[in-house]
Amino acid sequence: MALDSLTALANTGSGTDLLGGRTVGGKFVGAAMLTDETGAEISAANPLDVTFSALKAEDTAAVSGDLGLPLLAMRQSADTTSTDTDGDYTLLKVDEEGRLKVGSKPASYPDITGDITTTQPVISTPVAGGTVEGDVSRASNLMIFCTGTFSTINCTFEGSRESSGATNWFAIQAVRSNANTIELTTGNLSAQPAYAWELSVNALKRFRVRATARSSGTQSWRFVLGTYATEPIPAAQASATQAVSGTVTATVTPPAPATPYFVNSAANTNGALILTGTSSVHSLWATNEGASPAYVKLYNKATAPTVGTDIPEMIIPVPAAAAGVPGVVNPNMGFIPFRFALGLGIAITRNAVYTDTTAIGAGEVKVKLSRAV
């Protein structure tokens, strides 16, 4: 009978040790048996109790004096991987300055792919092969395109705010990659188009293309997910002259031409009505050939002013003549003329106060003004 295993007592001089072994390849191989502090064999029923104070259970509160193991990181300047296979353990990486390297570029996601082999006429009635859809909840935009051998396939672009289910799909817009053409469907295609489509999927959970018409063949779709900022519909931004339809009616009233007014003073106060109704004074020029100043007074009245009683709204001094040269005044009326709502009246007197009724000489003062209604 072959000896498959053996448990024996061996005396090493200080007691009895338990040895064990088994036959391997026709030879007996001995092995020391582990025991705990009571002498019981270490086995599945009596496992070795290994406790490290550095190991903490989830949600364990931190305590001052806790021990821990130092965490090593590896310097790696290049943005390449040092791990051969997905699922392998790897070290944390630091750059040439000792800073921990973290993801600084947009997240990458696997493309969503699928084939259209039939139609799904009803938006909420699933048909295998009638749609290609995927999760876009972590993307902001898509670039989508189709390939294959097919005839007369028309797909509509649809989004959903639901994570699952066949209902609550709605149409969304996409823009061609080679033109500012916004579309809700692909239109009937019988070959791979020379363009792709880009669209925003912000706040959407899922996106799909749904075939509403198909003659034959297989149309293969690929959705490339992006996480960069983009306008919802870039093509909607006007980049050229936009057509405007409708009728625009405008009434343009040209400003009335200024009407001149001239007065050569008589030997009195020269009170007169220039115009009844709203009037604007655009400019004024006055000369004085007398030895004393004179005063041109303008009134906001619908009738001739009563000089000495009515209050003028403007009093313009005209200097006296000097050395045979008449005194001249040409006040700056500004860009916006002075308006007189009731009417425009005028008087010329010797003194500035509005109550003055002192006459001036005949032909002594000459006033030229331009006014408009």
134-144 residue pLDDT tens:
999 989 999 99
The answer to whether the beta carbons of residues 360 and 276 sit under 8 Å apart is no
Domain that includes residue 306, residue range: 259-372
Average pLDDT, the chain: 85
- Identify the pLDDT of residue 229: 66
In a domain, 64, yes or no: no
**Are residues 165 and 205 located together in one domain of the fold?**
yes
Does residue 38 surpass a pLDDT of 90?
no
Buried b (16+ CB within 10 A) or exposed e, 225-243: bbeeebeebebeeeeeeee
Furthest CA-CA distance within the chain: 162
**Are residues 220 and 292 located together in one domain of the fold?**
no
Out of 44-53, 82-91, 101-110, which region has the weakest mean confidence (pLDDT)? 44-53
- Identify the pLDDT of residue 32: 57
**Are residues 202 and 274 located together in one domain of the fold?**
no
78 Cα distance to chain centroid: 35
- Identify the pLDDT of residue 205: 95
Out of 85-99, 155-169, 180-194, 344-358, which region has the weakest mean confidence (pLDDT)? 85-99
For the segment 91-107, the average pLDDT, to the nearest whole number, is: 79
**Are residues 263 and 232 located together in one domain of the fold?**
no
Q: How many residues does the chain have?
A: 373
In a domain, 90, yes or no: no
In a domain, 243, yes or no: no
- Identify the pLDDT of residue 259: 83
- Identify the pLDDT of residue 223: 97
Q: Which two tokens stand for residue 220?
A: 């293969």
* Selection from 54-68, 126-140, 228-242 with the highest mean pLDDT: 126-140
pLDDT category at 51 given cuts 50, 70, 90 is: low
Number of domains present in the structure of the chain: 3
For the segment 336-350, the average pLDDT, to the nearest whole number, is: 92
Does residue 365 surpass a pLDDT of 90?
yes
pLDDT category at 232 given cuts 50, 70, 90 is: low
Q: Which two tokens stand for residue 163?
A: 């994570």
Q: Which two tokens stand for residue 138?
A: 């972590």
Sign of the Cα pseudo-torsion (32, 38, 40, 42, in order): negative
According to the 3-state scheme, what is the secondary structure of the chain? Answer: CCCCEEEEEEECCCCEEEEEEEEECCEEEEEECCECCCCCECCCCCCCCCCCCCCCCCCCCCCCCCCCCCCCEEECCCCCCCCCCCCCCCCEEECCCCCECCCCCCCCCCCEEEEECCCCCCCCCCCCCCEEEEECCCCCEEEEEEEEEEECEEEEEEEECCCCCCCCEEECCEEECCCCCEECECCCECCCCCCCEEEECCCCCEEEEEEEECCEEEEEEEEEEECCCCCCCHHHCCCCCCCCCCCCCCCCCCCCCCEEEEEECCCCCCCEEEEECCEEEEEEEEEECCCCCEEEEEEECCCCCCCCCCCCCEEEEECCCECCECEEECCCCCCCCEEECCEEEEEEECCCCCCCCCCCCCCCEEEEEEEEC
**Are residues 27 and 116 located together in one domain of the fold?**
no
Nearest to 367 by CA among 294, 264, 273: 264
Nearest to 371 by CA among 308, 288, 306, 314: 314
**Are residues 188 and 229 located together in one domain of the fold?**
yes
Instruction: Give the domain CATH number at 265.
Output: 2.60.120
pLDDT category at 8 given cuts 50, 70, 90 is: very low
pLDDT category at 307 given cuts 50, 70, 90 is: very high
Does residue 9 surpass a pLDDT of 80?
no
**Are residues 224 and 333 located together in one domain of the fold?**
no
- Identify the pLDDT of residue 6: 41
The answer to whether the beta carbons of residues 198 and 234 sit under 8 Å apart is yes
- Identify the pLDDT of residue 231: 62
- Identify the pLDDT of residue 28: 54
For the segment 18-27, the average pLDDT, to the nearest whole number, is: 55
The answer to whether the beta carbons of residues 296 and 365 sit under 8 Å apart is yes
In a domain, 129, yes or no: yes
Does residue 363 surpass a pLDDT of 80?
yes
For 321-342, what is each residue's pLDDT tens digit? 999 899 999 998 878 889 999 9
Does residue 10 surpass a pLDDT of 60?
no
**Are residues 297 and 229 located together in one domain of the fold?**
no
For the segment 216-221, the average pLDDT, to the nearest whole number, is: 97
For 250-304, what is each residue's pLDDT tens digit? 887 776 677 889 999 999 999 999 999 998 998 999 999 999 999 999 999 999 9
- Identify the pLDDT of residue 123: 93
The answer to whether the beta carbons of residues 223 and 338 sit under 8 Å apart is no
**Are residues 264 and 232 located together in one domain of the fold?**
no
In a domain, 43, yes or no: no
For the segment 77-104, the average pLDDT, to the nearest whole number, is: 82
For the segment 184-197, the average pLDDT, to the nearest whole number, is: 96
Beta bridge partner(s), residue 199: 142
Nearest to 320 by CA among 284, 293, 349: 293
| Residue 235, phi then psi, degrees to nearest 5 | -70, -15
- Identify the pLDDT of residue 46: 79
Does residue 12 surpass a pLDDT of 70?
no
- Identify the pLDDT of residue 256: 67
Distance CA 62, CA 196 (A): 55
Does residue 22 surpass a pLDDT of 80?
no
Nearest to 367 by CA among 304, 299, 295: 295
- Identify the pLDDT of residue 247: 85
**Are residues 208 and 307 located together in one domain of the fold?**
no
**Are residues 224 and 142 located together in one domain of the fold?**
yes
In a domain, 152, yes or no: yes
In a domain, 45, yes or no: no
**Are residues 117 and 156 located together in one domain of the fold?**
yes
